[in-house]
Amino acid sequence: MEFLVVSALNGLIYGLLLFMVAAGLTLVFGMMGIVNFAHASFYMIGAYLAFTISGIAGFWVGLLVAPLIVAVIGMGVERFALRRVYDHGPSQQLLLTFGLAFVCEELIKTFYGNYPVAYLQPHSLDGSAFTVFGASYPAYRFFVGVVAVLMFATLYLLLHGTRIGIIVRAAVQRPAMVSALGHNVSLAFLLVFGVGAWMAGMAGAVGGALLTTSPTIAAQMTILAFVVVVVGGLGSLNGALLASVIIGLLTSFSVGANVSFADFAALFGQRALAEQIGGLLSLRVNTIAGSLPVLLMLLVLLTRPAGLLGERD
């Protein structure tokens, strides 16, 4: 029972971290149709900037300032790079952001080296948040979950409760019409990209201390972020939340699933046959726990390509 509860909590919080990264990506993808391969690079830049700033002015200042810098970088990328390739089609945008991801990784390696850096959580959050079944649950993990929930709440309120939110949501669906109505769609695009980058930077600032901060985290996060976006539905914030929580829980619980297809075949008395055939049939679920999100994406693409909460065009 303890294992179930702790795993559920861990999976939930890991999912929420993924949501922070994927939310910006799905908004940008849904609204501007841009496949932003550099989005997870914003995550990495956020982590490294937070590391540097927290070394000078403390963790909380780093947490506040780093995402803002990343937002500025994001807006700069949109204004000076992406805007030039809008007219040339999606493949040019993809290539641009792909190249940007490489450049970011090499820049990080130039300034910070090839190895992980010691970006650690603040001492004030070192203890336990609460006890569950006699074991203490780490306070910092809980903090990450709280930040993610606050971020989702803020974003939701922004999109559904403010005027600019209405414009953004309309521009996601009908950009030409919104522009014809006299709204500054370019500015809306710029802001959305900036907010997306801000969220990824914030995710990096909290996630970098929870997981590692090294030059490889962008590549690892990119895959998961795209899986979340595809599974949840392009452009759907609720979908991103649902998908990221599902993936977090899936990864968390599959680690404990020391079963394989051969065990399932045992129900029909065919265990020996399954094990003799070997290969996929004797593959244990917990050894592929890291690949299950991608398998889920494959399943979703085959059965419901628009995503769980996405809309078909």
| Other residues' Cβ atoms within 10 Å of the Cβ of residue 157 | 11
CA distance 275 to 205: 46
Q: Does 122 bind other proteins (CB under 8 A)?
A: no
| Subset of 151-210 contacting other proteins (CB under 8 A) | none
Computed on alpha carbons and rounded to an integer, the radius of gyration of the chain in Å comes to 21
Q: Does 124 bind other proteins (CB under 8 A)?
A: no
Q: Does 290 bind other proteins (CB under 8 A)?
A: yes
Q: Report the DSSP beta bridge partners of residue 128.
A: 138
CA distance 248 to 232: 13
Q: Which is nearer to other proteins, 15 or 30 (CB)?
A: 15
**Window contacting other proteins (CB under 8 A); options: 10-18, 158-166, 189-197, 236-244:** 10-18
Q: Does 136 bind other proteins (CB under 8 A)?
A: yes
Q: Which is nearer to other proteins, 123 or 312 (CB)?
A: 123
**Per-residue binding letters, 256-285, with other proteins (x by CB under 8 A):** x-x-------------------------x-
* Cα angle 187, 190, 192; round to 5: 110
Q: Does 216 bind other proteins (CB under 8 A)?
A: yes
Near other proteins by CB under 8 A: residue from 154, 162, 276, 287? 287
Q: Which is nearer to other proteins, 93 or 214 (CB)?
A: 214
- Say how many residues make up the chain: 313
Q: Does 54 bind other proteins (CB under 8 A)?
A: no
Q: Does 92 bind other proteins (CB under 8 A)?
A: no
Q: Which is nearer to other proteins, 43 or 193 (CB)?
A: 43
Q: Does 116 bind other proteins (CB under 8 A)?
A: yes
Start-to-end Cα distance in the chain: 44
Residues that bind other proteins (CB under 8 A): 2-3, 6-7, 10-11, 14, 114-120, 128, 135-136, 138, 140-141, 211-216, 219-220, 224, 251-253, 255-256, 258, 284, 286-291
